[in-house]
Structure 1
């Protein structure tokens, strides 16, 4: 009997093994371009496209060394600039969006549904619609070529998606916790910091992750507001490797 059960388990497990092997092979095929790109960065220029393999007889790290110092500053300078913008954006979104979400989810005021609907409607606005008035405003404030135009809007809860995300999460937190905290003497500030914020960590973590990705990869806004090469972030600095004819050196960077 035991032998029969063992055979059945082995027979049932074979399709799973085959399925996992198929997924692994498919994953390798999908990740091959990334692996090829990484390995090609250690090849001389004349071998990058002439040799489709991953290995090279003329392995070299000159490409990375010259690329790191090819611009006016070492590349870590632009990484630090991006980190400043990203850190300010994350702090701004976490604070402002959570405060706005608490007001919508827990407070009662006139026109709340209307204002919430208008806020959700801003999600459909492309960045190109708001970038011009933002540029005019910060230009009048003499803040062009600074990081303020990239960070200050985050402090004003302009990312409606994160407000909506946090509102939906806060609505799932029982109101009985608010009432218990109010009995203990907490006002809205105490409820927000002691009850809502600790219990909203999943929504806050999601906000932080997406803010990091979107801000780090943002090229258009940073190109508009940053004109001094010393202020360039990583996306704008990478764009300087491309010349006027949209060509870029695949091997060692050209000074």
Structure 2
């Protein structure tokens, strides 16, 4: 009887803790999603209302911001979407392929000064990207890659050379968790280093590859500075660069269409994340990036 009474007395306290936890989570979710909700609401406000109404909901519903933003330039906004999609997908392919090969060398192969070169690679993570911009620009200019017929070369070629040390490190951490007994078994079957990579490491590295692909897509889609440096023609602009053209020197022009196009530009990233959310979590949990 006493045990039953104690269990009953604990239920309200447990229920109260659950309610408090739920309210806290809802409050945090509201704080996180408020900027996004405000941006969506502002995309339907008229130009004068944007400056006067700071609330979430428009007083004067203005859906014309979307067609106005889509046709705001001489080039259709669809061209900017196409440019961003092409750059992001090629970056995903380059990072996944080159970083996987580099990580395999660091994680499974033996060569002179392997630890030294791995430390140098990790050290590049400490360098701000802006420090490398000027020397990279000079080097690419000497190669004739800047201002050429295909201006995306300086944005894409480094991605095929395993320059993203973060992804190399991520894959190295993952491959170190793969038992070396599998390599030995493959060697007994007559596989060389390439055979081990092709038939053992590559199939088992799927979670790390998925994580690399997702982060590469999202970061490239939202990247602004490097694309601004190397892209000069309007028809070659990506979405982040094109967004800056909505604001003139006074900072007052075409704010409504700019917010409308900002909402549309977020949709591919949102859908990409939703589609691969489970694979992203699994990849992070199995790639050595843990809190």
TM-score (norm 1): 0.91
Please name the residue that 1:174 is paired with: 179
Distance 1:143 1:30 in 2: 41
Deviation at 1:79, TM superposition (A): 1.1
Q: 1:140 aligns with which of 139, 142, 145?
A: 142
Are 2:219 and 1:214 equivalent residues in the alignment?
Answer: yes
Q: Which shows bigger deviation, 10-19 or 216-225?
A: 10-19
What secondary structure sits across from 1:49 in the alignment?
Answer: helix
Give the 3 Å change call, closer, same or farther, for CA 140–172 of structure 1 in structure 2. same
Structure 2 residue aligned with 1:20: 22
Is the alpha carbon distance of 1:170 and 1:147 closer, same or farther for their aligned partners in structure 2, counting shifts above 3 Å? same
> Conserved in 2, the CA contact under 8 Å of 1:178 and 1:191?
yes
SS at match of 2:122: helix
Residues 30-86 of structure 1, C-alpha deviations (whole Å, 9 max, x = no match): 422321221121121222232344333421211111011101212121011011111
**Runs of at least 5 residues in structure 1 that lack an aligned partner in the other structure:** none
Tell me how far apart the structure 2 counterparts of residues 222 and 27 of structure 1 sit (CA, whole Å).
32
Q: Over aligned residue pairs, what C-alpha RMSD do you find? A: 2.0
**SS where residue 123 of structure 1 aligns?**
helix
The offset of 1:247, in angstroms, is: 4.2
Shift of 1:252: 4.9
The SS at the match of 2:34 is helix
Instruction: Tell me, in whole angstroms, the C-alpha distance in 2 between the residues paired with 1:84 and 1:248.
Output: 29
1: distance between equivalents of 2:209 and 2:76? 34
* Aligned with residue 93 of structure 1, among 56, 76, 95: 95
Residue 158 of structure 2 corresponds to which residue in structure 1?
153
Tell me the residue number matched to 1:198.
203
Task: Give the deviation of 1:7 after TM superposition.
Answer: 5.1
Q: Specify every segment of 5 or more residues in structure 2 that has no aligned partner in the other structure, as ranges.
A: 259-291
Report the TM-score when normalising by structure 2.
0.80
Task: Give the distance between the partners of 1:56 and 1:217, measured in 2 at CA.
Answer: 27
Count of residue pairs brought into register by the alignment: 253
2:23 & 2:191 partners in 1: Cα distance?
A: 56
Q: Where does residue 119 of structure 1 map in the other structure?
A: 121
Following superposition, the deviation at residue 133 of structure 1 comes to 2.8
Distance 1:22 1:133, change over 3 A: closer
CA gap of 1:57–1:245, structure 2 versus 1, over 3 A, is closer
- Alpha carbons of structure 1 residues 252 and 217: separation in structure 2 relative to 1, 3 Å: closer
The answer (yes or no) to whether the contact 1:45–1:252 under 8 Å persists in 2 is no
Q: Counterparts of 1:22 and 1:165 in 2: how far apart (Å)?
A: 33
For the residues of structure 2 that align with 1:51 and 1:239, how far apart are their CA atoms? 23
